Structures are given as C-alpha cells and as structure tokens.
Structure 1
Amino acid sequence: MSFPRRAFLQGAAAGALAPGLLHAATPDAGKKVLRIAFPAPESTFDPPQTNSDYYSSTLIQQILEAPLSYDYLARPVRLLPNTAAAMPEVSADGRSFTVRIKPGIFFQDDPAFKGRRRELVAEDYVYSIKRFYDPQYNSGDLYLYEQAKLPGLSELRQQALKNRTPFDYDAPVEGVRALDRYTFRITLGDDDPRFIYRFADAQIMGAVAREVVEFYGKDIGAHPVGTGAFRLKSWRRASRIELERSPSYRGTVYDGTPGDDPDLQRVAAHLKGRTLPLADEVHVDIVEEDQPRWLSFLNGAYDFLAVPGTYIPLAVPHGELAPYLAKRGIRMQRHQQADMVMSYFYMEDPVVGGYTPEKVALRRAIGLAQDQQAYIRHVFGGSGTPAQSTIPPFTSGHDPDYVSEMSTYDPARAKALLDLYGYTDLDGDGWRELPSGQPLRLRMASMADQRSRGANDLLRRQLAAIGVRIDFEIATWSELLKKTRAGTLQMWGYSWGATSPDGGFFLGIAYGPNAGDSNDPRFNLPAFDELFRRQQRLPDGPEREAVMRQAKDLLVAYMPFKVHMHRTITDLVQPWTEGYLRHPFMRDLWRFIDVQPH
C-alpha cells in the first residue's frame, strides 16, 4: 500500500493558455475521449522508479493491475478480487498469503512478445515484486516490502550489492514464490495485520512481464505494458499523455455494492450491466498553473476538475455551487481527503536539524509562527482543516478529538522560545542570529507556480514577524523529488495521500530505517522507532490506537514535520460526464467514467 507524494505547491509556470483550450473544440470523431488535467508532471511509468510520485502512480494504475482492487462505490470501503480469482487465503498466523490468478487474462500486445499472446501467470507477480529489490532501480518504495521482512529477498539484494553482480531473479526465495502456473504465495517475516491492502495497489503490486522489462532495458519507464483497461498510446513528457482502450482487456462489469449516498446510487445505476472501460481514450494534459487549468475547464476542455484553491470562492461561494455553473449543468462533489499537507525539516541539516533542545526549539518556533487558518484560506481557498498530527482522516490512528501544538498559531510564544535558546538579534538589524552568532537564514525548496509563490510570500511574512529570514530554492517537481532522496534540501513541503485505511504509513514517514525513502527528514529517534514497530504488529483496536497516540506525541514534540492541513477537495463535473466519483483510496477508477457526445 503505497501512499504517493503529491505536489501541493504545483510545478513550474505554464503558458498563458492550457493545452486543453487549443483542442477542446476538435474532439476525436466517433470516440469517447475522457479529458483530464494534472497540476504536476509525471516522472516515469515504471513502478519501482516512481519514488511515490502521485501522478505517475495514478497513470500506472490504469495500465497495470494488482490482484485486488477496491469496490468503487462501497462505503465503507472494501476489497474485491481483480486479477485474483478470490480473496487471498491467509494462514492462521497471518503471515502467509496465497493468491490464485484467474486464467485467461492477457497482457497488452507489445513487440516484446514477438507476436504471441502473453497470458498473465503467477510468476509475473513474483518477478514484479522482486524488481523492487533490484539495486539497479534504487526503488524509493522498497521500504514497503522491507518492513514486512519477506524472507530471502533482502539477502538477494545484499548479495547483488556486495558482489556487484546482477540481481538474481531466478533464485527461489521463501518471501514470494509461484506454487503453480496461476498461484503465488507471499510469506512475511514479521507480523503485519494490514498487509492485505498492498494487494490492491498496482503501484507496488502491478504485474509486469519479464520479457518487456528485458526488451526495453533502461527505457522501461517509457513502455508500460500491463493487463489493465488502458494502454499507453503516446507520451510527450511533462506535457501530454494519451491512453487508449486495450484490445486485449477482458472487460469487466461493475458488480459491487454501492453505499446509500444518492451520488453512489446514481453511478451504480449508470454502470449496471455495462462493460468497462466506458471511454475509448484518456487524454491527460499537464497544466501546472491554476488559472489556465480553471479556464480550460470552463471552456469545456476537461471533463472534471478539482477546483484550485484560489478559485473556490468563484466556484462554490459559501459552500454552494455558483449559479452560473449550476445553469450549465455542472455538478459539484466535495470530499474530505485521507491526506495531509506538510513541510519537513531535514534532520541532518546543521541549522534546522538535530535533537538538542535549541534545535527542537527552533523547529517548534517556526511551527508556532505559522497561521494554519491563514494558510488554508489564502492557499487553498478555505478547503481544509488544520492538522493535529501526520495521520489523516479515514485511516486508523486518526482521532478527531486529538489536539496538539501542531495546529497552534502563537508568534509571541515562538519569539519567547527563540529568545530562551539564544536565537537573538545580536547586531540590531532586526533579524535573529544563531546561538553561535552566525546569521540565521532558512532555505525552503519550492516550485515556481502562482500558488507556490503565494504560499511562499505568506511564510516569508509570518517568519519575518518573529525575526527569521527565509530564502526559497526554486526547482521542478521531479527535480525536487531527486533532491529530497539525496538529502540536499533543508526544508520542503508537499502532501501524502493514503491508498488504504492503514494510518500506520503516516507514522512510517518518520521511521528511522525508512530514511531516504518515505522518511524525507531522515528523522531517527529510537523511542519513536520502537513505537512504530509495536503499532505495526498490533491488530487494529484500542491497544494499537494508544501506541499510535504516543508516536504522534513524539512527532509533535520533536517536530520533524510541520503538518499544515487535511484537504477537502471540491470536484466540478461536466454535465456530459457520468460515473466519476472520488474514492478515498483507489486510483484505478478511469475505467468507470463515461463521457457523452456534447
């Protein structure tokens, strides 16, 4: 269950007009084309190399398939077999999962198969999981398997690293193995009662064929070949991605159990008896600036849109759909998200890092100087709630009654903390120095778009009010992902979104062994690590919740993260679009969406 990083201060500046404005009036004749805008670019189509990039992950999950998926319309959420013939058989000790794949599922046609139809088999899942351990990919998501300690796989990886030899994919290991042509088994070396959710995440358990990876080699990131509803038709990097219906896709009919909400019932009625996918093609434009993305939607270029925060007052004044939009038949959907928007402090940085009292005081003062309500209002148009911890709504460990300093705005207290620990203005220029007497100057990584600039200006003014200067290091989303893995950023911010109901992941982003993967601040506190391991092994319930609360308290106290908010997304849906509903966790939902001629 990966939890992809999502840009919340979106990418580099775009042109005056979005791509959608240029082609909105020239639909593909006779085809149903679903048109979508992403606010930040993709990086790759190869799962081990995405580094939890939300946009790449979303695309991958339309092409590759995991053994399970979520019931699109069930609330509360539930898992369903996808390529699996049934739900996994789980051993009595909860450490062994046996999955049987449905016969007769085929990969999309590709030159790598040399003209032969290629059936999905158990070995494809075994191979796909092993790829995360292959040192050549340096996967940022390996920790999701490493935490479960699949026997034999880490040893294979270490052997390849030590001997500087290729990873041995043919070596049998206990952690993941095929039992026959259609059956594979995953065995855990440690308790993980929520591991089953990973079977529903094509980002980390989507099947790829070994022939394809070997055929394309280092260019595999541009050649995704899966068994899903769509296949890649064309790709202009960081500009446009076109998917088309896969002729080899088996076709499915929604047979889940919708919840009682009228929107869920409406979609269920539309899907009843229809073969998926409903669209012939999906075109995704990368439109990084809010204004052109918003204008393109109004022009009819996109079939649905998450309203940018700056346009919330125009689209939904006082929480109601604006009359000019309602008259056009546009529908509104509002959903609180299982995500959190945060900034992190690099704990190995000589200025903001460290565990001594004066270093902790600096981070807490920076946090206290930030007005979260103003941030939500000015950057996100009021669409969100202040966060009390890293754990978001709809996931285990989230307690709506938990209140902490994470959301506190108290500049007077921030000043007092800085004064107490020696961050004072020694030269009388109005700016504080470090206790050593050296200048105190912070450095925050950022992207260059309008929303980022607004957030940066707000932060600059809030820190100036307590006598602290800050500069901004501007780069693209993909460049910043690389820099954060390399540990070269002092501070940066983005959001994490859940792909399962397990809130334990949102503690794992501070777990010491995950440093360089999900643990971007490289927080390393033995007391916290022990709490993380305890909650991971426990079943859901009061005992686990109590341990998670202790872990949350430590993150508030040491503040490797300043968690800003949990977002509420306002989606606008065009009148010709049916079947679209935002799901709390699943990403592979484009197959359910229909567009009518207009």
Structure 2
Amino acid sequence: MLRRRDLIASAAAVPIGSAAAPQSAAGGPKTLHLALAATETQLDPPQTESSRYTFQLLACILEAPLRFDYLARPPRLQPATAAAMPEITPDSKQITLRIRPGILFSDDPAFGGKPRELTAADYVYSIKRFYDPRWNSSDLYLFEESKLLGLSELRRAAIATRKPFDYDREVEGAQVLDRYTFRLRFAEPVPRFIYNLAHPYLTGAVAREVVERYGNDIGTHPVGTGPFRLTTWRRGSRLVLERSPSFRGDPYSGEPADDPLAQAIARRLAGRRLPCVDRIEFQIIEEQQPMWLSFLGGQLDTIEVPGSFGTLAVPNGQLAPFLRKKGIRLDLSQAADMSMSFFNGDDRIVGGNAPEKVALRRAIALAHDGAQWIRLVRGGLAVPAQSVVVPFTSGFDEAYRSEMSEHDPAKARALLDLYGYLDRDGDGWRELPDGRPLTLRIAALQNQAARDGNEVWYRSLKRIGVRVEFEIAGWAEMLKRSRAGALQIWGYAWSAASPDGGFFLGIAYGPNANESNDARFALPAFDRLYERQRRLPDGPERIALMHEAKNLLVAYMPYKVHGHRLQADLLQPWLLNYWRHPFMRDIYHYLDVEGR
C-alpha cells in the first residue's frame, strides 16, 4: 500500500534527542543522503494518511514482527522481532506470534531512564490504536476488513459514550497470552493478513508510555525498536536519523535469489552488524529540477529519475553516456504500483451510477491521452495500465486488455452525444443534458509534474469540447479536502505493499469510502465480489472473481488508471547493497556508502 499520499509542512525545527552520532572507522559518521519527493506527515502509524514517504521513515524507526527477506525473489517473509514465523490455524482465522526476549526500545524520557523491553502487549496496544477514534486513522479499514473480534465493538462503544478508548479491556481479537506471546483472532478467514505483520507503518510496535507522554504530539516523537532514531526534524525541509545505540544489530540472514547481484550483496552483508551506516539525512525536495541537480552534484546517494528527466537520463531504457562516465549506475525495474485519477462518486456532475454519469466518466477516460501522459509526466518510464491491479500481485494478468488503456476521442465524443452532453449554444463547449454548463474541476499539486499532467488533461478534454478548471493546492490541503469529499477529480499513485492484489480492488469497496475508496464508489455487485475473493485462498477461484471485479471497474470507471511506473533508480558509485524490492520499505539499514 502508495500505498499512497504524502503531506504537511511548517518551517520550525523540532528538537529531538541530543546524543552525538556514532563515529565510523574513518573518524566521522557514515551518512546516507536521500531525498523525499513530498513533505512528510505525522510519524505515527495511525496518522500517516498512507504516505509512501512516511512509511519509509517509520520503517527505519519502528519494527513489525515480520519483514520481507531483502534479497529473496520471489518475495518471502521472515521473522524480524518474532522468534519464529507465526502459527496460523488451517481455517486462517487465528494467528499466534511469539516475540524474541531482550529487544529494547530506543531511549526516551518516557521510560524514566530505564531500558524498556519490547513485549507482546506493545503489539496488541499498537493495533488497538488504529481503532481509537481519537486518531481518526485513514488505514483503519485494513484492520476492520479483517474483522478482528471485538475491536470494532470497542471503537463503537467509545464513539457512543464519548469516553476515551478502553485500551485495558481485553478483546478476543487481540490477546496477550504471556509477556512475549500474543494472538489475533478473526471472524472470517484472512489468508493474507500475515503481510500486514511485515509493515512497521501498520504493526510497528510503539510503547504506551511514549504515546501517553506526548499525547497529540506523538507524531513528532516516534520511538521504536528499529535501527535508527529521529534526532532532527525541520518540517518540509530536512530529517536526520541516527543509529539507535540500543538496536541489537542482527546481521543479514535470508535466502538470496539466484542472481549475481543478490549473491554479491549477501556475501558483503554476511556476518556484518546492521545498520551499515550511522546516519541518514533526508532532504525534502518536491520539485524535480533541484532534486536532479542535487544528485548530479553528489549531494544525494540515489534518486528515482524524475519524470521530466526520463528521456535525458534513461534514453530508450539505457543509462545515458554522460551518467555512465561519472560511474553512476542504473537500476531499472517494473514497479508494483499504479498512477490514477478518481471521480468523486458523491459529486453531482461525475458521481453516481446512472447511465449518463457512467458515460461521462468513460468519455473523460477515453479522451485522456495516456501516451502523452507517459511522455510528459513520466519521461517515457511507464507502461499503460489495464486495471487497478498492479504487477507482481495476485490478480494481475499481462494478457488482460480493457478500455482502461484506450485513447479514442472519437468514441468519447460519440458517447457524450448519445447521452445528451451537447454544445447547445455553439460556443464549442458542451453542456450537461439538462442544459446547465459543464465544467470539470481537476485538483492538482503545485509541482512541475502536476503542471505537466494538467497540460495533458487540458489538451485531451479540449478535443472533446469539455471545459476544465484546475484547483491548485498543497498536498496537506488536498488530502484534507479529499477525505471530506470536496474534490471532484484528483489523482496520485498507489504502491503495493504485498503480493495481495486484492488490496487494489479494495479502493473501490463501498465500506472503504472516506478511507482508501477516495472515489466513494458504491456498487453492491462489486462489493459482493470483493468480499468473496477476500475470504478465499489464492488460486483459480479467487482469480476468476478478481477478473469479474476488474471488469466492473472498467465498465463503471470510478478510477481512470494511467499507468504502472518503470522504476529507474540512479545510484552513485559509492552506494552499495542496493537492490529494489517490490514491496519492502525497510531497506535503508542494508545500504552502505564507501568513499563518498
């Protein structure tokens, strides 16, 4: 999961911690220099707004019980803080996990100067926080869909009584069995819930004492058991993470793929205590040009090629000679993601499932010039999308073809004519079937990529005689308005966090409105398909249901999916151990820098 989204900015620095950075063998801290392409959000799992960049930060600080094996392909899970892989009942309705003793949280004043050991109760508490109405989590649906026994009832009781959420009340769905063991129980089979246990932004352990000490400011004081701790945070500008002195420093263990690069990285990491670097400095660089120039100047160790520089840096999918001469390397791979625009289902112009509304959405989608979008916005580094389901996940079918990828202005104009969207006054612009003006409102951010995307929309819609106005604002404001249902059309990207393609069908599931279902799409026939596939194990029966669900989303078009990115990462000569994982966020403690 972008999963999606990225947010919030202010100018003041947040002072965090005071310990000096550890010294490397060379006499100074070994530092990894990275950039985030969007402003960071609250560094607190229930408050992340599903931000991909915030996920990356939290994955450095917090730990889930499991993780993906960094070098294994196909991807596989392995224990992180867990002593072993969880015990799962044959009916997929119960998961039991035992945590390794002796794992410590980073030091924090909330612990009163004493070491604080991670326990099973910390994981149960962290999961319960998503149900607490106080945090209004946009990711609550990921747990409620799984029907953890008793937790939704606990949330409803807090809302009904307007009393604080009762963390001390025992519930069947999340039980502490002993100091190091906890159990999750579900009302229905959850064959793929285990993947949630590998993501620090969902099941990363936080300590109750820390949350209670910082209260509403917990988002600026993340404290976990992970390899790094936050020491400097200048909002919208810079974050610094330093090696946590209490981190246990396990060496890499796993089963590397039968690939020369993976094998070489595994040999380099063998027996070495992680993390490899002492510090990570994140610069917030939202515009593409300064990010590109920072990388060329050696101020960043790696970047994903900005879309507008795609043809310059990676012409015809090959590293440009001027970059090769600098010793820069290219890692080019298909990303497990999709970029899309949604149509607000509650909007009076584009929303609803009446035939004329569906026809309007389909016409808008047919008008959009996807090839031009790939050229201008992605610099050629994307492939057309046929559905919401992304590569490397269940339900993705390379042979599947649909109207989702079509660009046919003539067909779009015919649809509009048929359903009464006509130019009645001869000014070149169409009106609604009832004669009122037809003007679309497309929301957009304030960066160059968004401006390029707006140009594609304007030209595309002008060809079919539809006016468009652009609503420009920052990321935080757009997220707020999207959750309030105040945007007519907006778009961003979703990235897969696991091999479960069902997640992407969930963005159209009716009960997920106000959470992942930004389109507020509501279709009972689709909801029934989604619920059936969710309960099934992976296999032909589930794939058939997912195929039907994809067809419905193409037919009703609540989302226009533009493409799946080709991930072009540029690596400086001194960056070591980099190998892109399709789902994993917590990769930075494997990376190393030598001779920067």
Structure-2-length-normalised TM-score: 0.96
Match of 1:409 in 2: 407
Shift of 1:318: 2.0
Which stretch of structure 1 is more off in the superposition, 358-367 or 375-384?
Answer: 375-384
Secondary structure of residue in 1 paired with 2:494: strand
> In structure 2, what residue type is equivalent to 1:263?
L
Map 1:120-519 onto structure 2 (within 5 A). 120-519=118-517
Q: For 2:522 and 2:219, how far apart are their aligned partners in 1? A: 33
Secondary structure of residue in 2 paired with 1:442: strand
> In structure 2, what residue type is equivalent to 1:548?
M
Match of 2:4 in 1: 5
Q: For 2:65 and 2:138, how far apart are their aligned partners in 1? A: 22
Which stretch of structure 1 is more off in the superposition, 106-115 or 480-489?
Answer: 480-489
Matched positions, count: 582
The Cα offsets for residues 354-383 of structure 1, whole Å up to 9 and x where unpaired, read as 111100000000000012111111110111
From 97, 100, 105, the equivalent of 2:98 is 100
From 29, 44, 47, the equivalent of 2:45 is 47
RMSD between superposed Cα atoms in Å: 1.5
The Cα offsets for residues 404-434 of structure 1, whole Å up to 9 and x where unpaired, read as 0000111001000001101001111110000
Q: For 2:520 and 2:370, how far apart are their aligned partners in 1? A: 24
Shift of 1:3: 4.9
Secondary structure of residue in 1 paired with 2:219: helix
- The answer to whether structure 1 residue 538 and structure 2 residue 536 are counterparts is yes
Q: For 1:585 and 1:348, how far apart are their aligned partners in 2? A: 32
Work out whether residues 441 and 469 of structure 1, in 8 Å CA contact, stay in contact via their aligned partners in 2: yes
Secondary structure of residue in 2 paired with 1:380: coil
Structure-1-length-normalised TM-score: 0.96
> In structure 2, what residue type is equivalent to 1:265?
Q
The Cα offsets for residues 38-70 of structure 1, whole Å up to 9 and x where unpaired, read as 111111101001121111111111100000000
Q: For 1:341 and 1:505, how far apart are their aligned partners in 2? A: 15
> In structure 1, what residue type is equivalent to 2:365?
G
Q: 1:345 to 1:366 in 2, by over 3 A?
A: same
Secondary structure of residue in 2 paired with 1:350: coil
Work out whether residues 2 and 337 of structure 2, in 8 Å CA contact, stay in contact via their aligned partners in 1: no
Aligned-residue sequence identity (percent) comes to 61
The Cα offsets for residues 233-285 of structure 1, whole Å up to 9 and x where unpaired, read as 11011111110000000001111111122221222222122110011000001
Which stretch of structure 1 is more off in the superposition, 76-85 or 257-266?
Answer: 257-266
Work out whether residues 32 and 597 of structure 1, in 8 Å CA contact, stay in contact via their aligned partners in 2: no
Work out whether residues 229 and 243 of structure 2, in 8 Å CA contact, stay in contact via their aligned partners in 1: yes
Q: For 1:240 and 1:560, how far apart are their aligned partners in 2? A: 37
> Which runs of 5 or more structure 2 residues have no equivalent in the other structure?
12-23
Secondary structure of residue in 2 paired with 1:140: coil
Q: For 2:371 and 2:271, how far apart are their aligned partners in 1? A: 46
> In structure 1, what residue type is equivalent to 2:595?
P
Match of 1:20 in 2: none
Work out whether residues 104 and 247 of structure 2, in 8 Å CA contact, stay in contact via their aligned partners in 1: yes
Q: For 1:263 and 1:337, how far apart are their aligned partners in 2? A: 19
> In structure 2, what residue type is equivalent to 1:575?
P
Shift of 1:29: 6.3
> In structure 2, what residue type is equivalent to 1:201?
H
Match of 2:21 in 1: none
Shift of 1:159: 0.4
- The answer to whether structure 1 residue 111 and structure 2 residue 114 are counterparts is no
Q: For 2:427 and 2:568, how far apart are their aligned partners in 1? A: 45
Q: For 1:65 and 1:479, how far apart are their aligned partners in 2? A: 30
Q: For 1:596 and 1:31, how far apart are their aligned partners in 2? A: 12
Work out whether residues 360 and 416 of structure 2, in 8 Å CA contact, stay in contact via their aligned partners in 1: yes
Q: For 1:177 and 1:51, how far apart are their aligned partners in 2? A: 27
Shift of 1:124: 0.1
Work out whether residues 358 and 557 of structure 2, in 8 Å CA contact, stay in contact via their aligned partners in 1: yes
Which stretch of structure 1 is more off in the superposition, 486-495 or 476-485?
Answer: 476-485
Q: For 2:383 and 2:261, how far apart are their aligned partners in 1? A: 24
Work out whether residues 11 and 288 of structure 1, in 8 Å CA contact, stay in contact via their aligned partners in 2: no
> In structure 2, what residue type is equivalent to 1:334?
L
Work out whether residues 11 and 448 of structure 1, in 8 Å CA contact, stay in contact via their aligned partners in 2: no
Q: For 2:458 and 2:121, how far apart are their aligned partners in 1? A: 53
Work out whether residues 148 and 188 of structure 1, in 8 Å CA contact, stay in contact via their aligned partners in 2: yes
Q: 1:63 to 1:523 in 2, by over 3 A?
A: same
Match of 1:89 in 2: 87
Match of 1:66 in 2: 64
Map 1:11-22 onto structure 2 (within 5 A). none
Q: For 2:8 and 2:341, how far apart are their aligned partners in 1? A: 16
The Cα offsets for residues 531-560 of structure 1, whole Å up to 9 and x where unpaired, read as 000000111111100000000000000000
Work out whether residues 88 and 95 of structure 2, in 8 Å CA contact, stay in contact via their aligned partners in 1: yes
Q: For 1:448 and 1:262, how far apart are their aligned partners in 2? A: 42
Q: For 1:134 and 1:6, how far apart are their aligned partners in 2? A: 22
> In structure 2, what residue type is equivalent to 1:472?
F
Work out whether residues 41 and 49 of structure 2, in 8 Å CA contact, stay in contact via their aligned partners in 1: no
From 556, 580, 583, the equivalent of 1:582 is 580
Work out whether residues 2 and 493 of structure 2, in 8 Å CA contact, stay in contact via their aligned partners in 1: no
Work out whether residues 11 and 449 of structure 1, in 8 Å CA contact, stay in contact via their aligned partners in 2: no
Q: For 1:293 and 1:165, how far apart are their aligned partners in 2? A: 47
Q: For 1:505 and 1:455, how far apart are their aligned partners in 2? A: 26
Secondary structure of residue in 2 paired with 1:507: helix
The Cα offsets for residues 450-502 of structure 1, whole Å up to 9 and x where unpaired, read as 11111101110110010001111111112211111111110100000011000
Q: For 2:470 and 2:409, how far apart are their aligned partners in 1? A: 22
Q: For 2:571 and 2:264, how far apart are their aligned partners in 1? A: 14
